[in-house]
Each structure stands twice: as structure tokens, then as C-alpha cells.
Amino acid sequence: MYKKAQNLSYLSLVLMVLGSVIVDQVTKNIAEKNLMTWEHSKDLKQYSGKRLHLLTIGDQEEKHIENNFYLSFNFNYVRNQGAAWGAFSNLEDKFRVPFFYFVTIFAMIIILLYMKNTPKHHRLAFFALTLILSGALGNFTDRFRLGYVIDFLDVRWSIPLPFHLNWNINMFPQSLDFLNFHINTSTWQYNFPNFNWADSTITIGIIFLIYDMLVFEPQREKLKVNSPKKEKLNTQTTERVSAT
């Protein structure tokens, strides 16, 4: 019975990862067909895509940008040859390609080992690791198949600030440009780097994993500490009953 349950658990894991990768690849393929308008025959960095507006919450009109709130969702085709937020995308191909292959494969091996050592009853942690693994595999499929990762989800916002700030962080080089940002004295305007389904599953998985570590893990440790005490108390009670 235990062996059968274990096999079903592994099967559900494989189906979850496979399903997530399929959704990731299908959505990226749709984005490439509908949003990519031109590409160079050899140079992957030379291309053009279009941006389609999906939904805006608030007012995004140019004359109302200052001191105004909006949250905008769009489809926007981008080829990311680097890591998250486009980091290291400007590295030479002879360094960039093997680097990301090595990092991704190494990360997936670590995740698999972590999953192997994670008890199945730690369901949230196991589910979180499954999400992270599926996301890593989805983006790795892009790198192996295309040489770049397709990002097409575009989120932008403008948030009024109740206090006056004027932060202009522009100290990082172009390869780390995602770390540079500007917040003016009245409004925080930011175009979040484009992402995809795989990025979303990785992010959600990390959030679940952190929640499991901060909330559930301390509870498990308390149970471990209290269990020997209860066992000892039960033993003493049994001995007393036997003595009487």
C-alpha cells in the first residue's frame, strides 16, 4: 500500500511538472507567433516585437501621470538572453551560454535532491519545490531550443507617495541595469521587467517555500520537542498503572 501511494506521488509530481512546462511552452509559442514582428536571420539580439495593452487599473493618460495611481497589464514580446531582469545578457555568447547551462542544470539537481529529502507530508514545501523545478525546466527548454528565453508579460505601475522622496539609483553597469531605478518626489513609476509563466511559477514557489520555512517549520520543531516529553509521560503513566 505504501509503495503504491509513493508511486502515485511521483506520478503526480511528473504530471504537474510536465503540465506546467507545456503551458509555459504553449504560451511562449503563441506570444512568438502573435507579438514578434521581425527578426534577423542570424543575430538573435536583432528583432522587434509589439506591445498589446491588456488592462489598466487607474488612469494612465500622459497628462495625469504625476501624482496619479495606475496599474497596467500588457503583452510585450522580449527575448531575454540573460537571467532574471535581463541580468548578464550582455555577456559574450561563449561565456553566457555555458554559464547559464551550468547554473540551470546545477540548480535543478539541487532542487531534486532537496525534494528527495523532503518528507512527503511537508506538502507545501514539496509543492513549492515542484513549482520552482517546473519553472526552471521551462526556461531551460527555451535556452536549449532557441538560445534565449521568451518573456511576454508586461506590468507597469505608478504609485503616489505620501512623503517626498527623490531616489535615483544609477550606479550599476548596463549588465546590471535592472538594479538601477528612479523614484521621484511624488510618484513611484516603474516598468517591471517582462516575465513569463515559468518565471511566475518560480516566484510563487519561492514565496510558498519561504512561508513554509517561517510558519510551518517552527511548528514542526515544536512537535519534535514535545513528542519525546509526551512519550516519556505516557511511559511513566503506564509504569504507575502496572505498579498498582
pLDDT tens digits, one per residue of 118-162: 887 888 999 999 999 999 999 999 999 999 999 999 999 988 877
Domain ranges within the chain, ordered by starting residue: 2-243
Residue 234: which pLDDT band, with cuts at 50, 70 and 90? low
Q: What is the pLDDT of residue 5?
A: 56
Task: Please say if the pLDDT value at position 62 is more than 90.
Answer: no
Q: What is the pLDDT of residue 133?
A: 96
Q: What is the pLDDT of residue 186?
A: 75
- Report the catalytic residues: 151, 199
Q: Which residue has the cell 512537535?
A: 223
Average pLDDT over every residue of 182-210: 89
Task: Please say if the pLDDT value at position 164 is more than 90.
Answer: no
Q: Let me know if 21 is exposed, middle or buried by CB neighbors in 10 A (0-12, 13-18, 19+).
A: buried
Closest CA to 149 of 39, 52, 42, 31: 31
Amino acid identity, residue 18?
Answer: L
CA 159, CA 187: separation in Å to the nearest integer? Answer: 5
Task: Please say if the pLDDT value at position 242 is more than 70.
Answer: no
Q: What is the pLDDT of residue 241?
A: 45
